[in-house]
Amino acid sequence: MNYHAYTLTDFLEDAHFKQWVYEPTSETESFWKKFLMENPEMSDTIANAKGILQLLSADIEKDFPEHDQVTNMWGKIQLGYDQPARPVKSIWPRLFLLTGAAAMVILVAGWLFKPATKEIQFAFHNLISTPENRFVERKNITDKPIVINLPDKSQITLQPKSTIRFPKNFDLKTEREVILSGEAFFKIHRNPDRPFYVYANELVTKVLGTSFTIKAFDDDQEVEVVVKTGKVSVFTCQEHKNNTNSENATIITPNQKVLYSRKEEIIKKFLVDAPEMIVSTAVIPPIGDFQDVPVSKIFKNLEESYGIEIVYDEKVFGDCMLTASFSQESLYDKIDLICKGIEAEFAVVDAKILVSGKGCH
């Protein structure tokens, strides 16, 4: 099968690919992992196809519209009532090759992918609307960041045109909660008995003690959370309300970030644009010079120095020996130099660095 030339639609229709998504086995996991390592340029297409299939599977029973609604929507599509299609090759005829209900779900994709009706009142909305909960509100109306110290010794650096709110009885509450509109950097005082929650648009960030940045302006289409130190859990307000945040949370660590699409209601994890070395005594000191050492040792040192997983085939690159000297290069420049020395390439996928190639012979 020539998966190298596959489009998004091809993957959605491929039985072998769908089997991996819905009923993965050790064989299919091994096949697709190897394929991604050898073809990193296909990672976005595969991730999108996998995400669509998983979303269809999860929502087919819960959100599927009535027959009359489907007929009406399809009639409008045929009559051209909907917005004009973008000038790209249409996938509708091919999507009808899908079987049973899945094809019908694709037909009404607009129904499934539209933002869910905001019938629930998120936790922070409830706090605001409750009379006995009085809030302290701080706005940054200047053109420079301002520092706000909370009663628990946590510190917030609030960016211009941003607002932070927290209860006046903040220090007496079991859970430390603040509401952000805009952008802020948080340096949270550690207290395992009192978790810290930041509510920002539709996203909730939970921490015990760490530092991170949240960008969540009301007019932005995305909410961004970037971790500098420690570890945070990110989940949606709906998951928090339904008490499913622990099982659905996205965990991010230093040099990682998440972007939440407010339109698609999807959380995705990435590496930051310029990863920095982690300042921690638990990490072995980074090495600048390597003299004829296995490339696996260099990768391990970089993994521990930056806290980023580097995925590669040890059988392929196990015999590769390398001499390298690093100074002020960025992480990506270092990986690029290593790959040139072992005839390999790399790609960033799901907050990991994937290295692929023919190996050393």
CA distances, 162 to each of 10, 85, 213, 293, 315 (Å) = 44, 37, 13, 50, 51
pLDDT at residue number 172: 79
pLDDT at residue number 51: 73
Amino acid at the residue 252:
I
pLDDT at residue number 218: 87
| Domain extents in the chain | 3-113, 123-271, 289-357
User: Hey, is 234 helix, strand or coil?
Assistant: strand
Amino acid at the residue 279:
V
pLDDT at residue number 243: 66
Residue with tokens 């190298």: 4
pLDDT at residue number 79: 52
pLDDT at residue number 45: 78
Q: What is the mean pLDDT of each run of 10 residues along the chain (361 residues)?
A: 78 84 84 78 77 64 49 50 43 37 35 36 44 74 93 93 88 86 93 90 87 90 91 85 71 91 88 82 57 86 89 85 82 89 87 86 63
- CA gap 165, 215 in Å, rounded: 15
Write down the pTM of the prediction. 0.59
pLDDT (tens digit per residue) in 295-305:
888 888 888 88
pLDDT at residue number 56: 66
User: Hey, is 203 helix, strand or coil?
Assistant: strand
pLDDT (tens digit per residue) in 136-159:
889 999 999 999 999 888 999 999
Which CATH number is correct for 289-357, 3.55.50.30, 3.90.1150.10, 3.90.870.10, 3.10.20.600?
3.55.50.30
pLDDT at residue number 2: 76
* Largest separation between any pair of C-alpha atoms in the chain: 72
- CA gap 214, 252 in Å, rounded: 13
Amino acid at the residue 330:
S
Q: Which of 198, 200, 176 is nearest to 260 (CA)?
A: 200
The DSSP secondary-structure symbol of 161 reads T
List phi, psi (to 5°) of 173: -85, 150
**Which CATH code fits 123-271?**
2.60.120.1440
